[in-house]
Amino acid sequence: MLPLDLYDTASRDVRLDEGALVLGGMARSIDRALLDALTVVERDAPFRHLLTPGGGLMSVAMTNCGAVGWVSDRSGYRYDPVDPESGKRWPAMPAVFTDLAARAANAAGFREFAPDVCLINRYEPGARLSLHQDRDEHDLGHPIVSVSLGLPAIFLWGGQQRVDRPRRVPLTHGDVVVWGGPARMTFHGVRALAEGHHPLTGSIRYNLTFRRALPRG
């Protein structure tokens, strides 16, 4: 793995807000390793469409790896150490995932980020995620690291209140977004994925979302 200081932030990084940064193309050099690891996770914990508390079916298909996994059903959102679909623990987080998340957080100024969950979202054309906050984690002091792979998407970067008009941020293969501190509770989402083809993923966009959900110890 590359030393922290070898990552060249001069490329096309964008600061969205204080505590929120797009690291342009940071994951690109290890894209195949990430996708290979994803294939291994997917074998034990297949993608599935979750139900929201409101009763709607999410258009994005999800799976997890790590000590816990983010799940949603009619009773609400939660982090569960067990995959409800299989009754078994989620697959372990691949080292290439953990390393990238820590490097990205570091590059954005958040030291010693040790994620215990990676929520993996699979977008097919038309799939979207409406504006929401990540608020199910025990300690909101830890940042969020979000990695884009495959087809491009429009990321919606809102404000601290739902009514704040979101900015449209184009994200492409290999981009990494990190937010924390004052930006930790920012409303965000993803616009409906456009049709397209990517050499490594075909008609799919994957998003890896790293979080620390559980208290330390």
Residues 6 or more apart whose Cβ sits within 8 Å of residue 5: none
Can residue 53 be called a binding residue for DNA (CB under 7 A)? yes
Least distance between DNA and beta carbon 50 (Å):
8
**Span from 13-21, 23-31, 57-65, 145-153 in contact with DNA (CB under 7 A):** 57-65
**3-class state of residue 165 by DSSP:** coil
54, 87, 199, 215: which one binds DNA (CB under 7 A)? 54
The interface with DNA within residues 99-128 (CB under 7 A) comprises 119, 128
Residues 6 or more apart whose Cβ sits within 8 Å of residue 139: 212, 215, 216
Can residue 189 be called a binding residue for DNA (CB under 7 A)? yes
**DSSP letter string, the chain:** ---GGG--TTTT-EEEETTEEEETTTTGGGHHHHHHHHHHHHHHS--EEEEPTTSPEEEEEEEEEESSEEEEETTEEEEESB-TTTSSBPPPPPHHHHHHHHHHHHHTT-TT---SEEEEEEE-TT--EEEE----SS-TTS-EEEEEEES-EEEEE--SSTTSPPEEEEE-TT-EEEE-GGGTT--EEEPPPPP--BTTTBS-EEEEEEE--SPP-
Q: Is 64 part of any known ligand binding site?
A: no
Can residue 165 be called a binding residue for DNA (CB under 7 A)? no
106, 133, 172, 203: which one binds DNA (CB under 7 A)? 133
Can residue 72 be called a binding residue for DNA (CB under 7 A)? yes
Q: Is 191 part of any known ligand binding site?
A: no
Q: Is 172 part of any known ligand binding site?
A: no
Length of the chain: 217
**Span from 2-10, 23-31, 69-77, 152-160 in contact with DNA (CB under 7 A):** 69-77
Can residue 214 be called a binding residue for DNA (CB under 7 A)? no
**Span from 13-21, 49-57, 88-96, 194-202 in contact with DNA (CB under 7 A):** 49-57
Can residue 130 be called a binding residue for DNA (CB under 7 A)? yes
Least distance between DNA and beta carbon 110 (Å):
19
Can residue 206 be called a binding residue for DNA (CB under 7 A)? no
Q: Which two tokens stand for residue 104?
A: 């990205």
Residues that bind DNA (CB under 7 A): 52-60, 70, 72, 74, 77, 119, 128-130, 132-134, 136, 162, 189
Extract the annotated binding site for substrate.
70, 77-79, 136, 162
Extract the annotated binding site for Fe cation.
132, 134, 188
